[in-house]
Chains A and B, each alone.
Chain A
Amino acid sequence: MGLEQNEVSLEQIAILHNRFKQLSQNEETLRRDDLKTIQDLESNPIRYQIIEAFFDRRNFQKDGVGSVEEIGFEEFLTVMSYFRAPAHHITEEQREEIRRAKLRFLFNMHDTDNDGTITLEEYRHVVEELLSRSGALGRETAKGIADAAMLEVASISVGPMAPDEFYEGITFEHFLKILKGIEIETRMHIRFLNMDTAVFCKQHSV
């Protein structure tokens, strides 16, 4: 992907490697169940999507399809590198590249059936998951929110539509368009990957 220019430093790789070993219980590969054991993830409403993202081939290389059952450290690192902040002095082009890559990651998280569009159903699922912690109250309004959001995307991307026209779903280009306002390249980052000094790795009781 277009993130080669932001190499993760050796020290960070070492720390991540330690973490990988810890999660996979010293095996070579990581499975979904290993990630599911992380306690802090329990309270996260979108934990399944996050875990799934690590095993999604589309995030490993440009034309990957489908998902895998287990990943090695290389894939783990590749997924982590999506959360690197862009360097300060980069050209506008490179910034755009990075933005596309990160938004592609998000898009893949939503587009679960890999047909290139986020349909209404998939979007509804996203909103439902986000509100899944709010009980029945959340579930009921989730559909309304998702519908409203789709309406917004359709009207922004396509404009006026005749009553019998049909908006298939959010394509990647539309997705880029509606999220233009969020400066994704700076917001989607973890400080951990920027720190040059060693960071403590919390020892979780697995």
Chain B
Amino acid sequence: MFICFFKNFFFTRTTPLTNPQISGKTRDLATLPPLHWMQSNEETPPIAFSKPNNGDEKNGNKTTKKSFPVLSLNYENVRLPFEISLWVLLASLMKLGFHLMPRLSSIVPESCLLIVVGLLVGGLIKLVGKAPPVLESNIFFFYLLPPIILDAGYFLPIRQFTENLGTILMFAVVGTLWNAFFVGGLLYGVCQLEGTNLAGVNLLSCLLFGSVISAVDPVAVLAVFEEIHINELLHILVFGESLLNDAVTVVLYHLFEEFTNAGTITVTDGFLGIVCFLVVSLGGIVVGAIYGILAAFTSRFTSHTRVIEPLFIFVYSYMAYLSAEVFHLSGIMALIACGAVMRPYVEANISHKSHTTIKYFLKMWSSVSDTLIFIFLGVSTVAGPHEWNWIFVVATLVFCLVARVLGVIGLTFVINKFRIVKLTSKDQFIIAYGGLRGAIAFSLVYLLNPKHFPMRNMFLTAIITVIFFTVFVQGMTIRPLVDLLAVKKKQETKRSINEEIHTQFLDHLLTGIEDICGHYGHHHWKDKLNRFNKKYVKKCLIAGERSKEPQLIAFYHKMEMKQAIELVESGGGSKLPSAMPSTVSMQNIQPKKPPQDRALPQLSKAREEEIRKILRTNLQRTRQRLRSYNRHTLIADPFEDGLDEILIKRKKMKELEKKMNNYLTVPAPPADSPSVARARLASDPQAWGLKSVTEIPTIKVELVSPQNPESVKVVDEFSKKGSQPKGSEEEGGLTMRVPSSEKQRKDKTPDEEPQPRFMRCLSDPGPAAEDEDEDEPFLP
């Protein structure tokens, strides 16, 4: 079935009248005639070894004694996959070639070049005499479009999207409606004029055409906007609009198509249209969300079969798209919803490698799809039936542009009343200018039934013209315009942990202020949703410990992981990657001298003991925490799942380190040279032990420092020594003071025990080691 359908693709001539009646976007695969397949089989010469009717051949062999075919040719069998592979190869080679010419790629956006290539290829095929293949709508909607949309949906920046959701919806729904009716209506007016031969175009056809052409195309927008690196706000506005207007387009398309069949419209039909819109969009989102949750739930159990994790993601998403298409719901919205819903849970469950796989597969597929779409647009232009009508085409173009500009200006005027960050006129210009049309419009018109729409070819021609205009003219000029207008570009800032902390802090602060005001606003509901998510949903969908991990910690671990990987990739030397502030180390920020203005209260003995006990435990943890952040020691294989394995190894290393403590003053041998480090990755305990030794003097300094000024002051014997500045006296300080090393004796406080995961670090010698230290002087 699948194969015969594809056969149709390649054998399709320019008039698809051979295909049965099509209604709507989806074509009923079952009704496609398998004629072509059978015909081609009969055409193959009988010498082929792999022919299905082998039985006859064998009989024939017995009777006629034909010689055994050593080498035979059967192209027909592999024709289909072969041709598909050729196209994909062509697309990829084009992409490759395009990027090898940097001068060209900086002037002309990739999409333009690809269309030109398509034109050339189409021309070539025509020259040869064959009819060039047209971009079949089903191929487009089922195979070429989903990867692009899934890629967009999975990596959708949720925060910006939800913050601007109102604006995006306004543009997507109201903007598209306005465009559709404006263009459709005016075109009808033009058609009614004398002098044109367009009297046959009725109002509904015009409106249908208007609705198809008014939708901003996500493929084209992505292709162009990705290259100009515009600031995130504008990017998400235009891109979000192109995604969400799919629902509007679907509804309008079906609506007008039905009406054309029916002939008349009533008010109820209009009302039903609105209901249909809500059903289509919300239904699509619900379907997507259901599949997303299923995918998240499945990923919870994949810890033993990591290899097929990406497969689940892709298949569930594709099923969401297809399921939505079954009910004529918005497949694009289903796909976006599925990707966005499953992402936070899936990412917490799957391994790092799977995450990378998913990312690269999605990028690869969407890239190939994108390329193929544009090439086929070019080929279809050469192939397609054209009916050029100057007035219609020019009118379409002009009205589209005018409608877009007016729509954006009008909507922004209304939207700015509700926005905190208003949209400036520069922003408006970019939004209007970025309204590119693309292959979706083409495919939708292609699907029209010529019986009901005799002017279909004219529509096709007009659409192709508009697409070419927007992609070429607007696509090429948007980059210099962006530079000319000095529009804010995307800031390539690294996410800093301070910003993350304060983002969280602000969220809680604003929620708190709202609660104090008694006003249930934005933040209140967001907070409620987060808490619900944490309490119930995460427990269901995320495996194991990670379900309880707060966002800040997850972010921190991600950062650690990233830096560990960078460290490993850079050779694991003592030179830390740039992400890590290598210019400042822990000793710079730990207080060394007692702050002058700190008031040191007098303490009773009991209190002092209490304080010392608390500090002991806290200081222990400090050392461990510092260790966990310090990249020097995290040379273990960061590609393992989670930090669990690293930490288990650390526990083992602790034993070794106890013995190392005596050799503090011996500088660590260069165990961190790249080759050595690589060789010792994750397996050699020496790598750990030796490295940590160098750290110990540094860290221990802080512990001895008067973070606990009270205890230092009160106990006289310690005060003088405690306030000594650091340096070579560190060890001296440690050895002289028996009670101070007592401070460092690890206290097995109850809450330390249940948290083995993050507790144990190399530098942390057990209590036994400390006792050892007391007896032996550090100085050799």
Contact = CB atoms under 8 A, between A and B. Distances in A.
A136 B511 CA distance: 24
Contacts of B524: 40
B757 to A, nearest CB: 8
B588 A134 contact: no
Interface in B658-712: 707
B496 interface: yes
Interface in B177-212: none
A183 B488 CA distance: 14
A147 B514 CA distance: 31
Interface string A53-84: 01000000000000000000000000010010
B507 to A, nearest CB: 10
Contact of B553 (A40, A47, A131): A131
A164 interface: yes
A148 B553 CA distance: 12
A19 to B, nearest CB: 5
A22 B516 CA distance: 11
Given A106-B502, A140-B625, A145 B516 contact: no
Contact of B585 (A54, A144, A163): A163
B597 interface: yes
A201 B519 contact: yes
B552 interface: yes
Interface string B571-603: 000000000011111111111110101000000
B96 to A, nearest CB: 36
A165 B585 CA distance: 10
A3 to B, nearest CB: 15
Contacts of B586: 147, 151
B716 interface: no
B581 A151 contact: yes
B531 interface: yes
A136 B751 contact: yes
Interface string B545-564: 10011101100100100000
Interface residues of B, number: 72
B515 interface: yes
B62 interface: no
Contacts of A138: 550, 553
B483 to A, nearest CB: 22
A131 B550 contact: yes
Contacts of A148: 497, 556, 559, 629
A50 B511 CA distance: 10
Given A85-B420, A138-B550, A130 B516 contact: no
A186 B420 CA distance: 7
B508 interface: yes
Interface residues of A, number: 78
A145 to B, nearest CB: 5
A147 B626 contact: yes
Contact of B498 (A139, A141, A152): A152
B498 A143 contact: no
B512 interface: yes
B759 interface: yes
A144 B625 contact: yes
**Most chain B Cβ neighbours within 10 Å, of A80, A148, A182, A203:** A148
A192 B621 contact: no
Given A181-B496, A202-B520, A147 B629 contact: yes
B703 to A, nearest CB: 13
B522 interface: yes
Contacts of B592: 166
Given A41-B516, A144-B629, A166-B591, A155 B584 contact: yes
Contacts of B493: 181
A199 interface: yes
A140 B583 contact: no
B606 interface: no
B621 A45 contact: no
B519 A202 contact: yes
27 contacts: A41-B512, A43-B531, A50-B509, A88-B416, A137-B553, A139-B751, A140-B621, A140-B758, A140-B759, A143-B622, A144-B758, A148-B556, A148-B559, A148-B629, A149-B501, A150-B589, A154-B584, A154-B588, A163-B587, A166-B588, A178-B496, A179-B499, A181-B499, A182-B499, A190-B521, A199-B519, A203-B518
Interface of B: 416, 420-422, 491, 493, 496-499, 501-506, 508-524, 527, 531, 545, 548-550, 552-553, 556, 559, 581-593, 595, 597, 621-622, 625-626, 628-629, 707, 726-727, 751, 754-755, 758-759
Given A137-B548, A145-B552, 15 more contacts: A19-B518, A44-B515, A83-B510, A106-B502, A115-B597, A127-B552, A137-B545, A149-B498, A152-B496, A155-B581, A179-B498, A190-B521, A191-B522, A192-B514, A192-B519
Please name the 9 residue pairs, one residue from A and one from B, whose CB atoms are nearest each other, closest first: A155-B581, A160-B583, A144-B625, A40-B515, A143-B625, A50-B512, A192-B519, A154-B584, A155-B584
